[in-house]
């Protein structure tokens, strides 16, 4: 658990989060959890769109509160040249700048990497767009949904007789942000350890998720076959599915390791199948996945979730209950690891959010505060970092620049 005196691995690092919505801001969120100072740039009118995203309480966006933890909110109108000039000045003293404007807009406004790095050669810029720089779609608007479709995720998700299925959470943005975060750390290591300069990290919302879905491409390339949807089953593992219990709950099981698959058969009373070549040999078990799936489903349907889980845990079978949010918060394992924390917030009172992932023993991540009100830190940041005086602040505010 992080305390005010705990060392933080990215202490002294300054990050300018001038992106909006999910992927770019998530990069800054994770860097901020590790101790970086994060300055969040928002439009003066309305702020980041994620403030209005999803569930609200008393007009406050709940997702905003979590994504913008540990950040300072500064309003800055980048459509105005004076606003862009302030961004350039902030970037001169920054280590990392996160952007997601269209490439042509960045160039036209003079805030692209080539322009910014001239004044700060050590700057690491993360530029996340829908499709990446270069190519015919370079300037097209893009969101995680398009990445989830084009990456092959939607094609492989859902039941065989149903439509391609999109996730109901920010999967494409999250995977892209994770890729960008480790790229930032690699770029900083290159700069600070190898004596290199800064660099541009060009990332889109298609390629990171496609990398996780590479198997269909490998299959098509080598075998000429196009894999299709298989529901909750997977053609490399059997048994592997979700199963309904007698008390109308669900559990999931994975038999990816042959030893686990054999344990599952023994646990449901089918020792005889463990010596049957159709199920004992890995490739043949996949050929007979439907039959082994029926064996598991029929047994699970005769037991409550608690009964089935007790048997599977005793037999060391890889099975888990399918949780909703309430059940997730109540799980003893997650409670023991202090995964979810109650954080004091001036707007919402207390709010439960998930703590930093992963757990680090020497430099654990932190949640100092949740997402701040719009522009709360504008005067502080512009005064302390850029020396802008009260008269200039008033002028900038009157003209809609901040």
**Does residue 30 register a pLDDT over 70?**
yes
pTM here is 0.93
**Does residue 119 register a pLDDT over 70?**
yes
DSSP 8-state code for residue 58: T
Q: What are the structural domains of the chain?
A: 14-211+337-398 (3.40.50.10540), 240-330 (3.30.1540.10)
Active site residues: 173
Beta-carbon contacts of residue 179 (< 8 Å; ≥ 6 apart): 203, 208
Q: What is the pLDDT of residue 237?
A: 75
Question: Rounded mean pLDDT of 33-48?
Answer: 96
Tell me the average pLDDT of the chain: 94
pLDDT in tens, 275-329: 888 888 878 888 888 898 999 999 999 999 999 999 999 999 999 999 999 999 9
Q: From CA 276, how far away is CA 288, in angstroms rounded?
A: 11
CA 399 to chain centre: 36
Q: What is the pLDDT of residue 3?
A: 66
Q: What is the pLDDT of residue 1?
A: 64
The sign one gets for the Cα dihedral 114, 193, 2, 383 is negative
Q: What is the pLDDT of residue 33?
A: 97
pLDDT category, 5, cuts 50, 70, 90?
confident
Angle at 396 between CA 395 and CA 402, to 5 degrees: 150
Q: What is the pLDDT of residue 232?
A: 84
pLDDT in tens, 373-399: 999 999 999 999 999 999 999 999 999
Question: Do the beta carbons of residue 203 and residue 144 sit within 8 Å?
Answer: no
Q: From CA 144, how far away is CA 163, in angstroms rounded?
A: 18
**Phi then psi for 131, rounded to 5 degrees?**
-130, -5
Q: Which helix (H) or strand (E) holds 343?
A: strand 340-345
Q: What is the pLDDT of residue 239?
A: 87
**Does residue 89 register a pLDDT over 80?**
yes
Q: What is the pLDDT of residue 2?
A: 62
Instruction: Name the nearest CA neighbour of 98 among 175, 17, 184.
Output: 17
Look up residue 172 and give its two tokens: 């494409």
Q: From CA 314, how far away is CA 352, in angstroms rounded?
A: 33
Q: What is the pLDDT of residue 4?
A: 66
Q: What is the pLDDT of residue 85?
A: 97
**Does residue 236 register a pLDDT over 80?**
no
Q: What is the pLDDT of residue 280?
A: 80
pLDDT in tens, 170-205: 999 999 999 999 999 999 999 999 999 999 999 999
Q: What is the pLDDT of residue 118?
A: 97
Q: Is 15 helix (H, G, I), strand (E, B) or coil?
A: strand
């Amino acid at each position: 658990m992080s305390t005010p005196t705990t060392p933080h691995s990215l202490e002294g690092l300054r990050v300018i989060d001038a992106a909006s919505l999910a992927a770019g801001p998530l990069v800054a969120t994770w860097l901020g959890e590790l101790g970086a100072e994060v300055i969040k740039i928002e439009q003066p009118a309305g702020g980041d769109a994620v403030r209005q995203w999803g569930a609200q309480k008393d007009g406050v966006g709940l997702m905003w509160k979590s994504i913008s933890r540990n950040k300072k909110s500064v309003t800055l109108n980048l459509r105005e040249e004076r606003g862009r000039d302030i961004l350039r000045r902030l970037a001169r003293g920054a280590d990392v700048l996160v952007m997601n404007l269209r490439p042509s807009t960045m160039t036209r406004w003079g805030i692209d990497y080539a322009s910014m790095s001239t004044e700060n050669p050590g700057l690491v810029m993360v530029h996340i767009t829908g499709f990446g720089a270069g190519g015919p779609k370079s300037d097209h608007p893009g969101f995680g949904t398009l990445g989830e479709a084009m990456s092959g995720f939607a094609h492989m998700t859902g039941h065989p007789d149903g439509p391609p299925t999109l996730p109901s959470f920010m999967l494409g943005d999250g995977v892209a942000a994770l890729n960008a975060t480790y790229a930032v750390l690699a770029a900083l290591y290159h700069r600070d350890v190898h004596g290199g300069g800064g660099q541009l990290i060009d990332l889109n919302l298609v390629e990171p998720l496609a990398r996780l879905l590479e198997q269909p491409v490998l299959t098509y390339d080598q075998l000429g076959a196009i894999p299709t949807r298989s529901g909750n089953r997977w053609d490399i593992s059997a048994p592997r599915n979700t199963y309904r219990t007698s008390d109308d709950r669900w559990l999931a099981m994975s038999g990816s390791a042959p030893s686990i698959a054999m344990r599952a058969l023994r646990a449901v009373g089918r020792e005889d199948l463990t010596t049957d070549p159709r199920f004992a040999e890995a490739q043949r078990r996949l050929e007979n996945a439907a039959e082994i799936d029926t064996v598991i489903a029929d047994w699970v349907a005769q037991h409550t979730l608690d009964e089935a889980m007790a048997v599977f845990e005793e037999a060391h079978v890889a099975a888990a209950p399918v949780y909703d949010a309430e059940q997730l918060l109540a799980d003893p394992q997650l409670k023991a690891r202090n995964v979810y924390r109650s954080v004091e917030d001036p707007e919402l009172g207390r709010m439960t959010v998930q703590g930093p992932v992963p757990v680090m023993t020497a430099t654990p991540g932190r949640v100092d505060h949740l997402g701040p009100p719009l522009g709360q830190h504008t005067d502080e940041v512009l005064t302390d970092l850029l020396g802008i005086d009260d008269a200039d602040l008033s002028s900038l505010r009157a003209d809609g620049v901040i």
